[in-house]
Amino acid sequence: MDNLTIEDLENLSKQRLKDAEVLYAAGRYDGAFYICGYAVELALKKKICITLGWDGYPGRGKGSEKYKSFKTHKFEDLLHFSGVEKKINKQFLSEWSIVMKWDPEIRYSSKKQTDGDAENLINSAKILLKCL
């Protein structure tokens, strides 16, 4: 099974956030919004590993079938598994509400993200990543 280590997840999350900031600065709001969602997803998966005492997040390959529930992009499910659901809902509800507008299927949407949409997601992600 090719797991992403906690360090891999941390580094990738930071890289995706930087990618989102670069795209945002270039006026590429759709791309910034889309990539920023992955920064949050990776941070949630890192937090799950820490909470469950795993060395890495389950990948594909032999033995990965038993982790099927964890192979998701759904933020609600990932937050639940992370162990910080109560904290997020209590202390960071407005940021979480903004982040919940993201979905990986947005890449197929004709709806354009605005400057404000992308900026709000990036700012909310920055706050949430600190506690994840």
Q: What is the pLDDT of residues 22-64, one digit of tens each?
A: 999 999 999 999 999 999 999 999 999 999 999 988 866 665 5
CA distance 125 to 132: 10
Distances (CA, A) of 45 to 15, 30, 80, 123: 15, 23, 11, 20
**pTM assigned to the model:** 0.91
- Looking up tokens 């997840």 gives 9
Q: Which tokens is 16 given?
A: 């995706």
Q: Quick one: what percent of the chain has pLDDT higher than 70?
A: 90
pLDDT for 18 equals 98
CA distance 122 to 89: 19
Domain residues of the chain, as ranges? 4-131
pLDDT for 66 equals 62
CA distance 36 to 129: 11
Q: What is the pLDDT of residues 75-86, one digit of tens each?
A: 999 999 999 999
CA distance 105 to 91: 28
Which amino acid, 22? V
Q: Which CATH architecture fits 4-131?
A: Up-down Bundle (1.20)
Contact by Cβ (8 Å): 41, 98: no
Contact by Cβ (8 Å): 102, 121: yes
Average pLDDT over residues 63-73: 68
CA distance 112 to 115: 10
